[in-house]
Amino acid sequence: MRKLSRRHKENIEKTNKTICSTLEEAIEVLKSTATTKFVETVELHANLNIDPKYADQQLRTTVTLPNGVGKQVNIAVLTDEDNFAEAESAGADIVGNDSLIEQITQGNIEFDLLITTPNMMPKLAKLGRVLGPKGLMPSPKSGTVTSNLESTLTEFKKGKFEYKADKTGIVHVSFGKANFENDKLVENLTALYKSIEQNRPSGVKGKYFKSLFICTTMGSSIQLDLDIFA
């Protein structure tokens, strides 16, 4: 049996006592578990009463948290050459057309997000096997297929991002860094919860949330009372 480190044992003691009933308490405990030498990401894990194999029980949407997530996003734009200048001036890190498609085909993916104009979607079809598993395939629903590059790039540069439930119905998503101020983490967590709640799939029957946990990258999970956002 693998021996637990002293740091991990201490974190288990901090998080194993009770279910947090207030956001302020939850964030205090969360930050106390961030004891590594690097700045840890903080995450929400929401177990939902959905079965994503049914079309009316899938959750995939975007959200912009009020205080961002503390991550610099590298954005690539696939579009016609006529739009290169607009994309570059709006903050795109990589801009291209056929040459960019060729780079992606070869596995050279040096971006965190790919945005494209509608006319380029037919060319992207063959890249589904490369981009799909990485969650980088543009789609109108996620806002990454657009005719307005300037506003779309501005939104994503400000921190807009996509999240979705996995095949077991759980949403795993970060809502900041452990060095954020407590009130900013509370605001981000509340905004994320509201986004999940407001995008409740039409096929959900009865209770929507099964359980809620938060944690840091290397910390133990902390269970939240399901009425904590009431």
188 and 176 together in one domain = yes
**Number of compact structural domains in the chain:** 2
CA–CA dist 35, 179 (Å, integer): 11
Q: Which residue carries 């996620």 as its tokens? A: 142
Contact 85, 179 (CB under 8 A): no
Say if 42 falls within a structural domain. yes
132 and 150 together in one domain = yes
99 and 57 together in one domain = no
Kindly report the CATH number assigned to the domain that includes residue 20.
Answer: 3.30.190.20
Q: Residue 163: pLDDT above 70?
A: yes
100 and 213 together in one domain = no
81 and 113 together in one domain = yes
Question: What range does the domain containing 28 cover?
Answer: 6-69+161-224
Average pLDDT over all residues of the chain: 90
> Could you tell me which of 94, 155, 116 has the C-alpha nearest to residue 127?
116
10 and 111 together in one domain = no
45 and 100 together in one domain = no
Say if 28 falls within a structural domain. yes
Query: Which residues neighbour 142 within 8 Å (Cβ) at sequence distance 6 or greater?
Result: 60, 61, 62, 162
Kindly report the CATH number assigned to the domain that includes residue 138.
Answer: 3.40.50.790
63 and 101 together in one domain = no
pLDDT for the residue 3: 64
Output the 3-class SS for the chain.
CCCCCHHHHHHHHHHCCCCECCHHHHHHHHHHCCCCCCCCEEEEEEEECCCCCCHHHCCEEEEECCCCCCCCCCEEEECCHHHHHHHHHCCCCEEECHHHHHHHHCCCCCCCEEEECHHHHHHHHHHHHHHHHHCCCCCCCCCCECCCHHHHHHHHHCCEEEEEECCCCEEEEEEEECCCCHHHHHHHHHHHHHHHHHCCCCCCCCCCEEEEEEEECCCCCEEECCCCCC
Q: Residue 5: pLDDT above 70?
A: no
90 and 142 together in one domain = yes
168 and 153 together in one domain = no
Ranges 13-27, 34-48, 137-151, 203-217: which has the least confidence: 13-27
Say if 97 falls within a structural domain. yes
Say if 230 falls within a structural domain. no
Say if 229 falls within a structural domain. no
Q: Quick: pLDDT tens for 102-160.
A: 999 988 899 999 999 999 999 888 888 899 888 899 988 888 999 999 999 998 988 89
More confident residue, 1 or 146: 146
**Considering 157, 177, 204, which residue would you say is the last residue of a domain?**
157
Q: Tell me the pTM.
A: 0.79
139 and 25 together in one domain = no
Distances (CA, A) of 42 to 26, 108, 137, 170, 179: 12, 29, 25, 16, 10
